[in-house]
Amino acid sequence: MTKPAAREPQRSNSRSNRARILAVARRELAFNPDTTLEEIARAAGVVRRTVYGHFAGRTALLDALADEAAGVLRTAVDVATAPSEDPERAFARFVLTMWPIGDRYRMLLSLARRDLGMERVTDVLAPARREVTGILDRGQAAGTFHAHVPPDVLSAALEALTLSLLESVNTQAWKDNAEATAVTTLIAAGVPTERAEAVVRELSESIDVVIEPDDTL
């Protein structure tokens, strides 16, 4: 009867170590994409064996971060979804809500292509892509967004634009707190500049969404 109780603190400690390793990895890799597992272990205050006990190697660690990012993104999509909202406001709300998530995991953009492959990145971004495509579809039907290309194609183009802006932050070529990105993507979708600025200004005063990663994954 006493053995299960004895194992529970060990499991709790293991979960705590894993969460700390992932949090440190997010931070360290953001500063240096070539950070090694040994360096992450030191920064996390654990021995190298502890890191390898949770992650077989660098790729496994990055894959766990991708899983974490996907979970946070799915939650953020649920928060940002507003089916009854005007398409331009829904799209602006979506970008404003998603930008902090993209900013937190922007290091994955440079690492995923090299270590995980673009297919993995596509899987992570799939929920956001579906939501944006739906918003653009509604907006095109209402005449809010231009309809020169199908909504799924426009969604992919706006995604590429947003990822490019995140890359610019990653290389310290640019700094944004989401508003400029939201205005830029609205304009690219076909919303007049003054209207885009007004919508983003209004929404940015009311949106304060912070979604923490689920480190129990």
Domain of 117: which CATH number?
Answer: 1.10.357.10
Q: Model's pTM, two decimal places?
A: 0.82
CATH number at residue 11: 1.10.10
Is the same domain home to 66 and 37? no
Per-residue pLDDT reduced to its tens digit, 12-55: 688 889 999 999 999 999 888 889 999 999 999 999 999 999 99
| Co-location of 164 and 136 in the same domain | yes
pLDDT at 65: 92
Q: What's the confidence (pLDDT) of residue 217?
A: 37
Average pLDDT in the 148-154 region?
96
96 and 201 both lie in a single domain? yes
Which residue range forms the structural domain that includes residue 108? Answer: 61-217
Alpha carbons 32 and 103: distance in angstroms, whole number: 15
Nearest 5°: the CA angle 64, 66, 68 is: 70
According to the model, what pLDDT value does residue 14 have?
Answer: 84
Q: State residue 10's pLDDT score.
A: 53
Verify that 158 and 202 share a domain, yes or no. yes
How confident is the model over 70-95, as pLDDT tens digits? 898 888 888 888 778 999 999 999 99
The residue among 30 and 145 whose pLDDT is bigger is 145
Same-domain check for residues 103 and 201 = yes
For the chain, how many structural domains are there in total? 2
**213 compared with 148, residue with greater pLDDT:** 148
Query: Residue 216: is its pLDDT beyond 50?
Result: no
Q: 28 and 87: one domain?
A: no
Residue 172: pLDDT band by 50, 70, 90 thresholds? Answer: confident
Q: What is the pLDDT of residue 83?
A: 79
3 and 17 co-located in one domain: yes
pLDDT at 215: 46
Q: Are residues 108 and 50 in the same domain?
A: no
Asked if 27 and 130 sit in the same domain, the reply is no
